[in-house]
Amino acid sequence: MTNYVDGKTGRGPYRCFNTQRPNILMISFDMVPREFYLPREGDLAPRTPHLDKLKAEGLFFSNAYATSPLCSPSRASLFTGRYPYIVANGERSHDGQQEHIREGDTICPEYLKAAGYRTRHFGKCHVGAAKFLSAFGENDSPWDRWSPPWRDDDGYREFLRDKGIKDFQFNREIRGNAPSGKGKGNFLGGWVCTDQGAPFPKDAVYPAYISARAIAGLKTYENDPRPFYFQIDFFEPHQPFFIPSGYESREQELRSALVLPRSWESAMQGCPAAPLPLVYDRYRRYWGLQDQNTAEDYLVANVLQYEILDEQVGRIIEQLKVSGAYERTMIILTADHGEMNCRDGLVDKGAYLNPRVLQVPLYLKLPAGGKSSPESIRRNPPPGTVIDRLSSLMDIAPTILAAAGIEAQDRFDGRSLLEEGTGKRKLLAEVFAHVVPNPAACLIREESGETTLYTVNFADSIDEYYRRCPGGSWDEKNQAGQAAGQEEILREMLAFFEADERWSAYGAYFRLIHADKLGTAADLQKFVSV
């Protein structure tokens, strides 16, 4: 029998199959550096006991990627399981660019709600509040912007008042240099105290407020027989950082171990390890990290912000255990994109396609597999397994729907994380503009155990090529000039573009700029005969 998310319009057709429906908890972070979950020697790595335990009790996908380095398009693909048509965040989009998910599209939680799940959401949205209200109900309060609502979230202000805090101020700021080289530039957060100069308590930060709301929601529905889907979208560790009191000792420990990345030093000296597109230089001026103390403050604050998140995740998971729901709950935890974290003299992300801004953490804790659970759950790998095959944020929606016994009759570009991979896969990522307009697309390929990423910057003559090394780290030096099998990669990219109308805009230009390598006759006009 076919059901519909909207029975009146026929939107979102789906079928349900007989299965034991687990609770589902989806947690997303915003902008996580890869060394926070895949550290190597020399990295300033955070202490994350709760995430480490989640990894030990579930599956960890160590080779997972976003479809965009920006919040809105990446989240759109996460929620729909498809490549996004959004290519810029709303704050930076041009008039006429799509910046919200369309009303006619269906996001994963809408299927769950229609199939009988009780759906709740807490935190950031950034794909259009209307779609979240459809999925989570009119009492949801999704905020649709990149920056945190510290000052104008009435619930958070009440949360502070209940703790005896009227307001806060930054007593140590992190600021980059202005692009002119004169004066202060971008505000990147820092360390806070109360407006009276008193220590700001750890349990009063915005992540603590979001987790408190989520825990209250879990308690409210403890006796409800329906399965739940709870989605918690934290803003952190995205800058601007908000570091309270109570981390002074840990801060000193981090500073004593801190070593700036070599690529930061070479970028500041004007001698990068390999040629890079102009967009990277533009972002260096935007962030203004020429001062060593500023870069060091950023690295330390980023780690502390992530450790604060780990504590809040621990609180939420503890509530699941106290209520007895942990064993029958699927938990997915990820991030919407990565972050440069001072590599190449950059922080945050931007309108470029580097492995560091596309790779994401991806944790999956499965529910206990009963007889009526999907076969993929019953035969899952043992807890603690690290899965190294190429994965995508687009895989999350199909995974959730499969676990919930829902077969959505819609286009999906992702596939369930519980399907056995073939060791061969190709993924596309694209971006148009953020601070710097730089239309770009890249192909991420997995072949014979090796992952590579090839980027074409359509407004620049420099391509980018990166290889993932044995052990999982990326060679962060652009090797486009020496890419093995470059012509084969370019042909694969062209085939990818021309096989799907969604990317036909790239096809002619791709043939134009790489005509010498593709070497085929081509009429690039789209002559139409009616």
Structure tokens belonging to residue 321? 């255990």
**Cβ distance 97 to 88 under 8 Å?**
yes
DSSP codes of every residue in 30-54? E---GGGTS--TT--PPP-HHHHHH
Residue 483 has pLDDT above 80, yes or no: no
Q: In what order do the strands lie in the sheet with 425-433?
A: 425-433, 437-447, 450-457, 464-467
Q: What pTM did the predictor assign?
A: 0.96
Higher-pLDDT residue of 15 and 488 is 15
φ and ψ of 80, to 5 deg = -100, -20
Between 483 and 167, where is the model more confident? 167
- pLDDT computed for residue 381 by the predictor: 87
Average pLDDT estimate for 255-264: 95
Under 8 Å CB-to-CB from 104, ≥6 apart: which residues? Answer: 11
DSSP 455-504: EEETTSS--EEEEBPTTS-B--S--GGG-TTHHHHHHHHHHHHHTSGGGH
Out of 16-30, 346-360, 364-378, 438-452, least confident range: 364-378
Q: How far apart are CA 178 and CA 283, in angstroms?
A: 12
Residue 109 has pLDDT above 90, yes or no: yes
pLDDT band at residue 378 using 50, 70 and 90 as cut-offs: low
* Predicted confidence (pLDDT) at residue 375 exceeds the cutoff of 70: no
| Cα 230 from Cα 367, distance rounded (Å) | 15
pLDDT tens figures, 60-85: 999 999 999 999 999 999 999 999 99
Tokens of 367: 């529910």
Average pLDDT over residues 241-258: 98
**Beta strand 59-61 pairing with 386-387:** parallel
Contact 526, 501 (CB under 8 A): no
Q: Which is higher by pLDDT, 272 or 133? A: 133
Binning pLDDT at 50, 70 and 90, where does residue 56 land?
very high
What pLDDT shows up at residue 98?
86
- Given a cut of 70, whether residue 374 has pLDDT beyond it is no
Closest CA to 237 of 352, 347, 122: 347
Confidence of residue 520 (pLDDT cuts 50, 70, 90): confident
Record the tokens describing residue 272, joined without a space.
């990068």
pLDDT at 207: 98
CB atoms within 10 A of CB 515: 12
CA-nearest of 75, 22, 392, 422 to 229 is 22
Count of C-beta atoms within a 10 Å radius of residue 60: 22
For residue 372, pLDDT beyond 60: no
Pull the structure tokens for residue 301. 């604050």
Rounded CA-CA distance 457/455 in Å is: 6
